[in-house]
A and B are shown apart, each in its own frame.
Chain A
Amino acid sequence: EVQLVESGGGLVQPGRSLRLSCTASGFTFGDYAMSWVRQAPGKGLEWVGFIRSKAYGATTEYAASVKGRFTISRDDSKSIAYLQMNSLKTEDTAVYYCTRDGSLPYWGQGTLVTVSS
Chain B
Amino acid sequence: DIQMTQSPSSLSASVGDRVTITCRASQSISTYLNWYQQKPGKAPKLLIYAASSLQSGVPSRFSGSGSGTDFSLTISSLQPEDFATYYCQQSFSTPRTFGGGTKVEIK
Residues of chain A whose beta carbon lies under 8 Å from any beta carbon of chain B: 35, 44-47, 50, 61, 63-64, 97, 101-110
**Is B49 engaged at the interface, CB distance under 8 Å to the other chain?**
yes
Contact assessment for B87 and A35 in the assembled complex, using a CB-CB cutoff below 8 Å: no
Residues of chain B whose beta carbon lies under 8 Å from any beta carbon of chain A: 34, 36, 43-46, 49-50, 55, 87, 89, 91, 94-101
Contact assessment for A47 and B98 in the assembled complex, using a CB-CB cutoff below 8 Å: yes
Q: Can you list 13 residue pairs at the A/B interface with Cβ under 8 Å?
A: A44-B98, A44-B101, A45-B44, A46-B98, A47-B95, A50-B96, A64-B95, A97-B43, A101-B91, A102-B91, A103-B50, A104-B49, A107-B44
A-B contact count (CB 8 A): 48
Q: Within the assembled complex, what's the spacing in Å between the Cα atoms of A103 and B91?
A: 8
Extra contacts, 6 of them, besides A105-B34, A106-B46 (Cβ < 8 A), are: A35-B96, A44-B101, A47-B94, A47-B97, A105-B91, A107-B46
A103 to chain B minimum Cβ distance, whole angstroms, is 6
Q: Within the assembled complex, what's the spacing in Å between the Cα atoms of A35 and B89?
A: 13
Closest to B50 in A: A103
Residues of B within 8 A of A103 (CB): 49-50, 91
Contact assessment for B101 and A61 in the assembled complex, using a CB-CB cutoff below 8 Å: no
Residues of B within 8 A of A47 (CB): 89, 94-98
